[in-house]
Amino acid sequence: MNPTSALVVIGNEILSGRTQDANIRYLAVHLGEIGAPLKEVRIIPDIVETIIATVTEMKARYDQVFTTGGIGPTHDDITSACVAEAFGVPLELHEETAALMEKHYGTDQFSAARRRMAMLPRGATPITNSKSVAPGFTIGNVHVMAGVPSIMQAMFESVAPLLKHGAKVESRTWYALSLYESMIAAPLEAVQKRWPALDVGSYPFHRDDGRRGLALVVKGTDLKDLEAAAAAVRDLIAAAGAVPVEGEPPL
Amino acid sequence: MNPTSALVVIGNEILSGRTQDANIRYLAVHLGEIGAPLKEVRIIPDIVETIIATVTEMKARYDQVFTTGGIGPTHDDITSACVAEAFGVPLELHEETAALMEKHYGTDQFSAARRRMAMLPRGATPITNSKSVAPGFTIGNVHVMAGVPSIMQAMFESVAPLLKHGAKVESRTWYALSLYESMIAAPLEAVQKRWPALDVGSYPFHRDDGRRGLALVVKGTDLKDLEAAAAAVRDLIAAAGAVPVEGEPPL
């Protein structure tokens, strides 16, 4: 069994619609690649009790939990304090991080606000990265990262080698124009039943130019089963009178 | 107090990274406009027990709950059955919907797969819409919608007049280049403390061309307070030596 991952997006800006989230898909793809697939995402507001309760619940339920957002120097950056609380440990100055930041900014510019970003839960390991001197951190099975996508990605690259890995989740996709779900529902269900360990999905698309069709996707970790099921999907598309196109949506 | 909204995104395709979600932001913006702001989003897989447990929890916690995804005709479309279970009612053929669909498709083409889309929880009201003859539905405080963005939006437009409304959540945004959070953390916190009913946020941006800066956002329903707090934010940007630009990010 692959290890499970979950993501907690901490951010009023996503819930208000101000910002289009760009981190969920990045993590979904990369966690699938290392075989620790994303099983749940929660987007929650910057409220102390909500963050503590959500992190507490998710770290018990999943093998590894990621958070994004709320680790900067302003008053709405409360993630680190909440994660400390969820682990029942104090938030304290991480001396090594403070020294790195003081060196980076210079003593004059290492302000009280910046000092906040060197405060980590006791026992946490900093996630140093190529984009920001202020780190993310890992405590227990929780990995706390920035919300800004470029910094989040640098933190993920840095922590990825230390994560629980499993078998890569592979997928095969067949596209077909002018194919409707109701035309293939029964044979597609038969494919799912024949390979219960795979994940067989059907996703309609509607192009702006009016063309419609389906993407049929098979996902799993067993390559032999995957290829066999993908072939069965190709055949059921053809049997329904449509043209199966592999990999990319037909133009 | 404004009514609260929550969203449950049901979809393996979002969790696998295959699809970039487009519904969260749409609903976030439109629910803010009708004064029923989005307070939490959960993205969960197509697993019966998970859907039932999540809908049960969310409908008790929030004034209104939306779901997207899983109401088509294929085997992985299990949302309607799960929502019926969460309300403790049977899933049954909705005669009026079945009649509409049979008329639309013709008796020959109204297949068993399509008939599945006329199955609603007992007591549900169909969400008829301009894009698909197969409806979404409302039961209790839960509004069940399609996952395909164009259909979801048509369903939301259809159901919006029937939703719980509140005071519109307004926002004012000031942008500033070359301003860093650590430079304004203290005065920004003072603004939040002076207007505790408003939501004062700080969002760094990093452009691809290397330019960086901040967006400072004030949100709330009291326009007089909002304008006063926005003016205070403008002043604190200027006091930090940067140029406040309203509304749109400076190029």
Percent of chain B with pLDDT over 90: 87
In sequence order, what are the residues at sequence separation of 6 or more whose Cβ sits closer than 8 angstroms to the Cβ of residue B140?
B59, B87
Residue in chain A lying closest to B114 (CA): A182
Tokens of B156: 């939301």
CB B155 within 8 A of CB B146: yes
Q: Quote ipTM for the complex.
A: 0.92
**Does B33 touch chain A if contact means CB atoms closer than 8 Å?**
no
Cβ B16–A24 below 8 Å, yes or no?
no
pLDDT tens profile A129-161 = 999 999 999 999 999 999 999 999 999 999 999
Q: State residue B206's pLDDT score.
A: 80
Residues in chain A with CB shorter than 8 Å from the CB of B200 are: 75-76
Residues in chain B with CB shorter than 8 Å from the CB of A38 are: 15-17
Tokens of A143: 């990995």
CA B175 to CA A226: how far, in whole Å? 49
CA-based torsion, B59, B64, B68, B70: positive or negative? positive
Show the domains of chain A with their CATH numbers. Answer: 5-162 (3.40.980.10), 170-246 (3.30.70.600)
CB B65 within 8 A of CB B59: yes
User: Alpha helices, DSSP H only, in chain A?
Assistant: 12-15, 23-33, 48-61, 79-87, 95-105, 112-116, 149-159, 181-194, 223-239
Buried b vs exposed e over A58-88: b needs ≥16 C-beta within 10 Å? bbeebbbbbbbbbbbbbbbbbbbbbbbbbbe
Pairs of CB atoms within 8 A across A/B:
179
CB B141 within 8 A of CB B215: no
Q: What is the rounded average pLDDT for all residues in chain B?
A: 94
Percent of chain A with pLDDT over 90: 87
Q: Residue B106's pLDDT band (boundaries 50, 70, 90)?
A: very high
Q: How many helices (H) and strands (E) does chain A have?
A: 9, 12
pLDDT tens profile B213-227 = 999 999 999 999 999
